[in-house]
A and B are shown apart, each in its own frame.
Chain A
Amino acid sequence: MSCADTKGKPALYQRVVLKNASPYHYMKVCLVLEDESTRLNAVDLKQFIISGLDSLYGEVGAALNFDLLKYDEDTLTAFLRVYSKGLVKLWSSLTLLGSYQKQACAFRVLQVSPFLLALTGNSRELQLD
């Protein structure tokens, strides 16, 4: 309700309570590789995550819908979006991914939130000194 078209009328207050307002969960993940000079682009990364889903949950799991929203090739940091229902599946397959092209690797899940805005800051990495 906009205030502009309510000329002369007293201001109205509306209280809206939303439960599970966001259908998605957003994850900020960072890939750590044993050999730090290895480069992989966004397509490789998505392919790698799908292969992880495939090895843990099979073809049905590999069909899980998720999106790679933003990816930084230098720091190997990516933002993923997934329907809340598939969060546990995606997260556990990321956790159990142990090797990329025969070298050891690990996904560090930095932040998980149902709102993308929440991923802009991180209270744990605040530098107070």
Chain B
Amino acid sequence: MSVFMDLNLVYSPDSSRLQRLVETAAHLGYSTVAINYVYEPTAKKKQDIPAPRLIKDLIPELPIVQGRSRPIRVLNRLTVMMSDSSHFRATAAEYRGFDLLAVQPTTEKLFHAACMICDVDIICISVTEKLPFIFKRAPVNGATERGVVFEVSYAAALRDSTRRRYTIANSTALMESCRGRNVILSSAAETPLELRGPYDITNLGLLFGLTDGDSKDAVSSSCRSVVLHAESQETASGIIYTVQHPEAPPTKTTGRHR
């Protein structure tokens, strides 16, 4: 059986809050979580891409996952809000520090580019506004073939009823065009009380238009495949070269070479 993952916990500079979030996720039974840094470039002001903070500094002691006696795995993830094609630069050195790379396109053209061209792992679907375009079959199929997944996050649905409506409407529109495959459900939680357990999310997936099996895949095996996809992007086309040091503790040295 595949383990449960939640690939979107919103980053906040307050490390105690982040620590409580990770602890709650471990308690609910998630084996892997990703801390999400959002980068929103605007035309007027030049902004820096956020640099990921080391997990060791952020959370000194990783909590044990409920049900299995092993600490939770924490990844770093960057989400680029893409409102112009120049916002996503394919070979930016800043992207290398992150384990996962996601984009959120806002127009149909950018959605097509994100599906077919961009070297990303996750395409976020907006859940806070009415869908600005319709999902065409061709880019969705192209993304499926490349191993890119679509993400629907549910925390906005807990906050107020309007956004709940948009979440359900946009996700059912997505499920119609991708037929339930290559979809992940994640939390986008800012506080521990916005997190829900993996089985709750499996049940919630039925509401979003997924079938029973696809819904469980959306929190487990699809997430696993996107993490593996990201790992293969990180190395040179999936060739992994490791050096074993007998006494030194293992440190991660590889970055994104795209």
Question: Does A associate with B in a complex?
Answer: yes
Which of B67, B194, B201, B204 contacts A98, CB < 8 Å? B194
Q: Do the beta carbons of A92 and B158 come within 8 Å of each other?
A: no
Q: Do the beta carbons of B158 and A96 come within 8 Å of each other?
A: yes
Residue of A nearest to B160 (CB): A98
A95–B215 CA distance with the chains assembled, in angstroms: 15
A108–B201 CA distance with the chains assembled, in angstroms: 12
Q: How far is the CB of A36 from chain B (nearest CB, A)?
A: 12
CB of B206 within 8 A of chain A?
A: yes
A-B pairs, top 7 by smallest CB distance, nearest first, are: A98-B158, A104-B193, A95-B200, A106-B193, A91-B203, A124-B67, A92-B207
CB of A63 within 8 A of chain B?
A: no
Within 8 A of A (CB), among B181-202: 191, 193-197, 199-201
Q: How many A-B residue pairs have CB under 8 A?
A: 45
Q: Do the beta carbons of A88 and B203 come within 8 Å of each other?
A: yes
Interface string of A92-113 (1 = CB under 8 A from B): 1011111000001110110010
Which of B159, B193, B207 contacts A32, CB < 8 Å? B193
Chain A residues close to B by CB (< 8 Å): 32, 34, 55-56, 88, 91-92, 94-98, 104-106, 108-109, 112, 124
Q: Do the beta carbons of B66 and A92 come within 8 Å of each other?
A: no
A51–B159 CA distance with the chains assembled, in angstroms: 15
A105–B193 CA distance with the chains assembled, in angstroms: 6
Main secondary structure of the interface of A (DSSP, over half): mixed
- Other than the known A88-B207, A97-B158, what 7 A-B pairs have Cβ atoms closer than 8 Å? A55-B161, A88-B203, A91-B203, A95-B201, A98-B158, A98-B194, A109-B199
A104–B157 CA distance with the chains assembled, in angstroms: 13
Among A34, A92, A94, A124, the one with the most B-chain Cβ atoms within 10 Å of its Cβ is A92
Q: How far is the CB of B164 from chain A (nearest CB, A)?
A: 7
Q: Chain A residues near B66: list those with CB within 8 A.
A: 124
Q: Do the beta carbons of A96 and B204 come within 8 Å of each other?
A: yes
Q: Do the beta carbons of B193 and A95 come within 8 Å of each other?
A: no
Q: How far is the CB of B256 from chain A (nearest CB, A)?
A: 35
Q: Do the beta carbons of A95 and B203 come within 8 Å of each other?
A: yes
Q: Chain B residues near A98: list those with CB within 8 A.
A: 158-159, 193-194
Q: Do the beta carbons of A109 and B197 come within 8 Å of each other?
A: yes
Q: Chain B residues near A92: list those with CB within 8 A.
A: 203-204, 206-207
Q: Chain B residues near A109: list those with CB within 8 A.
A: 197, 199-200
Q: Do the beta carbons of B193 and A96 come within 8 Å of each other?
A: no
Q: Do the beta carbons of A106 and B157 come within 8 Å of each other?
A: no
A112–B203 CA distance with the chains assembled, in angstroms: 12
Residue of A nearest to B155 (CB): A98
Q: Chain A residues near B28: list those with CB within 8 A.
A: 108
Contacts A55-B161, A96-B158, A124-B66 known; A104 to B206 CB distance under 8 Å?
no
Within 8 A of A (CB), among B32-89: 66-67
